[in-house]
Amino acid sequence: MSSIRSALANARGMGSAKSGVGHWWAQRVSAVALVPLTLWFVACLASQLGADYASVTEWLSSPLQASLLAIYLAAIFYHSQLGLQVIIEDYVHTESIKMASLIVLQLANILLAVAAIFSVIMILVGAAG
Amino acid sequence: MSRQVNRPLSPHLQIYRWQISMLTSIAHRASGMVLSVGSIFLALWLIAAANGPEAFAGINGFAGSWFGQLLMFGWSFALFYHLCNGIRHLVWDVGVGLDLETARLTGYVAIGVAAALTLFVWIWAFIA
C-alpha cells in the first residue's frame, strides 16, 4: 500500500504520535517479563500465607529468590508507570495538571521501586532490623 | 474550550449495550489501577520487613486482618485477571485471535481462568 507520508517521515518511523513505538514496546516487554514472574511470586506468597518474619527473611536470604523479587519489583513499577501514564494522558486534559500528575507519577514510582529493591537487598545481606 | 461545539458527540458509556469486549477492556484498565495501589502495599510490606520484626508485625497483622484479607483477595483476582487478559492482548499483538467470535470467546476464557486461579491459589494458601 502506498503511503501519503513523506519519505523522511517513513524513514523516521515516528507515526502520528511523533514519538514512535517506544512506549508501546516497553509496555509489551515488561508484560512478557511479568507473566512468569507473577506466577512465581504468587506461588511464593501462597505457600507462606500469614508467614512470620523469620520465614520471609529466610525466603529472601536466597540470592536467586532475592534477585527474582528485585527484577519483579522493577518490572512491576515500570509497567505500572507506563500504564498509569496512559490513563492520565487519556483523562486529564488540563495541561498543567496533566504535567504535574505525570511528574509525580514517575517520581513516586522510582521512589517506591528503589525503596522496595533496597529493602530486598537489606534482607538478603542480613542488614534488616 | 469555551467555544460552542455543535457537532454530534460520542454517546456516553451508559448508552452502549454492554458486551464482553468492552467489559474486558474496561476491566483491564481498572484492574491495572487496582494493582498499582497493590504495588504500593507490596513496597510498604518489604520496607517494613527491612525495618525489623516489630515494623513487619504491624503491616503483616493488617494483612492478616479480615479487611487485609479482603484486600488481598481483591488484589489476587485483579492480578490474575490482568495477567490472563494481558496474555490475550499479547496474542492479539502478534495478529492472532482478532476475529469477533474468537475475541468474544477468549474474553470469557480470561475471566473464567482468572476466577479459577484466584480460587485455586486461596485454597492452596489455606491448606499449605
Residues above pLDDT 70, as percent of chain A:
96
Average pLDDT for chain A: 91
CA dihedral A105, A108, A113, A115 (to 10 degrees): 180
Is B71 a member of any domain? yes
SS3 content of chain B, % helix, strand, coil (to 5): 80, 0, 20
Identify which of A46, A116, A123 has the shortest CB distance to residue B125. A46
> Residue A90 domain-assigned?
yes
**What pLDDT is stored for residue B2 in this prediction?**
59
pLDDT over 60 (residue A86): yes
Please give the grid coordinates belonging to residue A49: 500465607
The answer to whether residue A71 is domain-embedded is: yes
The per-residue pLDDT for A50 is 62
Q: What pLDDT is attached to residue A19?
A: 80
Cβ of A129 and B51 within 8 Å? yes
Confidence check: pLDDT of B6 > 90 = no
Chain B residues interacting with chain A (CB cutoff of 8 angstroms): 29, 32-33, 35-36, 39-40, 42-43, 46-47, 49-53, 56-57, 60, 64, 76, 79, 83, 86-87, 89-90, 93, 121-122, 124-126, 128
The number of folded domains in chain B is 1
Whether B7 maps to a domain, the answer reads no
Out of A69-73, A112-116, B19-23, least confident range: B19-23
Structural domain includes residue A3: no
- Other beta carbons within 10 angstroms of residue B53's beta carbon come to 16
> Which ipTM was obtained for this model?
0.89
- pLDDT for the residue numbered B17: 84
Phi, psi of B108 (to 5 degrees): -65, -40
Q: A80 and chain B: CB distance < 8 Å anywhere?
A: yes
Is the CB of A31 less than 8 angstroms away from the CB of B33? no
Residue B3 domain flag: no
CA atoms within 13 A on the CB side of B86: 24
Residues of B with Cβ-Cβ distance to A104 under 8 angstroms = none
pLDDT digits (tens, 9 = 90+) for A7-58: 888 888 787 777 888 999 999 999 999 999 999 999 999 887 667 899 999 9
Percent of chain A clearing pLDDT 90 (strictly above) = 72
Whether residue B103 lies inside any domain: the answer is yes
**Is B14 among the domain residues?**
no
CATH number at residue A37: 1.20.1300.10
Total domains in the fold of chain A: 1
Residues B89-94 have a mean pLDDT of 97
The DSSP symbol for A62 reads S
Rg (CA), chain A: 20
In a domain, A13, yes or no: no
Give domain status of residue B4, yes or no. Answer: no
CATH code of B105's domain? 1.20.1300.10
The pLDDT assigned to A13 comes to: 79
Residues of chain B with Cβ-Cβ distance to A116 below 8 Å are 42-43, 46-47
Structural domain including B75 reads: 19-127
Q: Please check the confidence at residue B9 and state whether its pLDDT lies above 80.
A: no
Domain limits for position A52: 22-124
